[in-house]
Structure 1
Amino acid sequence: MDQEFWFPVQLSLWVSSVTAVIVLITGIMAGRLFAKREFKGKIIWETIFILPLVLPPSVIGFFLILLFGTNSTVGRGIETLIGSSVMFTPLAAVLAATVVAFPLMFQSAKAGFSSIDADIEGAAKIDGANEGSLLFYISIPLAGRALVTGGILSFTRALGEFGATLMFAGNIPGKTQTIPTAIYVAIESGDMTLAYTYVLISVAAAFILLSVTNSFARKIN
């Protein structure tokens, strides 16, 4: 198997890893905020955050093109900074995967932080813990199971992202082709052996990651 075969696998793993880091950080921040604070417009923002779970991938891709395309202010700003459009690049694949994976991390983080006894955090504050110490030494460890689960599910979701990625990042061999888009092309061209190989890689990766999640959950229990 040559580099042409392995490129979609390598890119998918890279995209999923970068996405997992992004949604882990943003998901923890947003999840804690929504679990512990009440503010105006909270329900609306929460709905927006989880909307990608139910929107068709083509709709997500459409909005990404509107926001980051060459005709948008954001898109032109990025083009000025990096010298090229973000569309049809690996970065576009990361953005698409991040949008669809974030709701899973957000919901897991929010559930994890909501389950923490307020008295525990209150006692830490009385003992002099500031917000940073409270988050890193109390809240995150206590919500660890939910955060790890959310992170793994987000990675797995990013690994399988297809629709929004196809619209926004395209399917350029050796540049933006991921495992899902490679499977699509293999089936379209009638190369079922190649399609089966990529499918097995995807299933194996997802199975291993979900098994790790279930094993972790059992140990915590």
Structure 2
Amino acid sequence: MILTDPEWQAVLLSLKVSTLAVLFSLPFGIFFAWVLVRCRFPGKALLDSIIHLPLVLPPVVVGYLLLIAMGRRGVIGAWIYDVFGITFAFSWRGAVLAAAVMSFPLMVRAIRLALEGVDMKLEQAARTLGAGRWRVFCTITLPLTLPGIIAGTVLAFARSLGEFGATITFVSNIPGETRTIPSAMYTLIQTPGGESAAARLCVISIVLALASLLVAEWLARQSRKRIGAL
């Protein structure tokens, strides 16, 4: 399968956007999953609903909200541009942000389910032996949650690869800058004679998603074996 330069650009940009989206959102995903499982506070249900809101909102609505908030003249985006000189709208950074927002609920949900399965008695036993909260989290909670973290990371990566609606609304469809695989396919489908190129990108998208899921399953099995051996 031979790809043209614009098609390679779309594939590489999709991989770049998805990888960065997962890397930047993973610490926040672990933190919010832990907060939702281990903490009790007023407004917890509201926080849970806000985190999962991108799952039920139309992606175009999410992209529009990002444009209002993080655009160059947005509520937050204007301040970021004035202070740091960084803009998100109509750039690959915005594509990363849109992908991270849309995939974040899947990541949090997978990690949260794994955290709920961790026996708190193990954590309490470590605390009674003098271990601090951070040490307990790093040596007991985090390793036991690893299969869920892997699952959430891969789900978020696969979701980021397929992100379209929020991305095209927030950062448009700029070749070489914001044109990921879904945006490139959208353009090719509307272009006379572009069906074969769209089919190639479709196959690549399926292969990438399937490969990521297979790798995630293998990593999850390995982590479960290690946990069982302890």
TM-score (norm 1): 0.95
Q: CA deviation at 1:210?
A: 1.3
In 2, distance between residues paired with 1:202 and 1:46? 31
In 2, distance between residues paired with 1:60 and 1:77? 20
Structure 1 segment 82-93 matched on structure 2, within 5 A: 82-83=84-85, 85-93=87-95
In 1, distance between residues paired with 2:175 and 2:118? 47
Q: CA deviation at 1:110?
A: 1.2
**Aligned pair 1:194/2:197, yes or no?**
yes
Is the CA contact 1:23–1:154 (under 8 Å) kept in the aligned structure 2? Answer: no
Number of aligned positions between the proteins:
221
Structure 1 segment 1-221 matched on structure 2, within 5 A: 1-83=3-85, 85-190=87-192, 191-218=194-221, 220=224
Deviates more, 1:98-107 or 1:68-77: 68-77
Q: CA deviation at 1:2?
A: 4.4
Q: CA deviation at 1:169?
A: 1.1
Q: CA deviation at 1:170?
A: 0.9
Q: CA deviation at 1:82?
A: 4.2
| Residues 151-209 of structure 1: per-residue CA shift (max 9 Å, x gap) | 00001101110000000011100111101100000101030111011111100001111
Q: CA deviation at 1:217?
A: 4.3
Structure 2: runs of 5 or more not aligned: 226-230
What is the CA RMSD across the aligned residues, in angstroms? 1.5
| 3-state SS, counterpart of residue 189 of structure 1 | coil
Is the CA contact 2:7–2:184 (under 8 Å) kept in the aligned structure 1? Answer: no
Deviates more, 1:93-102 or 1:81-90: 81-90
In 1, distance between residues paired with 2:86 and 2:107? 30
Deviates more, 1:80-89 or 1:187-196: 80-89
Is the CA contact 1:61–1:163 (under 8 Å) kept in the aligned structure 2? Answer: yes
| 3-state SS, counterpart of residue 88 of structure 2 | coil
Deviates more, 1:187-196 or 1:83-92: 83-92
| 3-state SS, counterpart of residue 175 of structure 2 | coil
Is the CA contact 1:113–1:143 (under 8 Å) kept in the aligned structure 2? Answer: yes
The letter of the residue matching 1:206 is A
Structure 1: runs of 5 or more not aligned: none
Q: CA deviation at 1:98?
A: 0.7
In 2, distance between residues paired with 1:89 and 1:160? 18
| 3-state SS, counterpart of residue 121 of structure 1 | helix
In 2, distance between residues paired with 1:97 and 1:104? 12
Is the CA contact 2:68–2:75 (under 8 Å) kept in the aligned structure 1? Answer: no
Is the CA contact 1:68–1:86 (under 8 Å) kept in the aligned structure 2? Answer: yes
TM-score (norm 2): 0.91
In 1, distance between residues paired with 2:205 and 2:219? 21
| Residues 88-115 of structure 1: per-residue CA shift (max 9 Å, x gap) | 0001001100111110111111111111
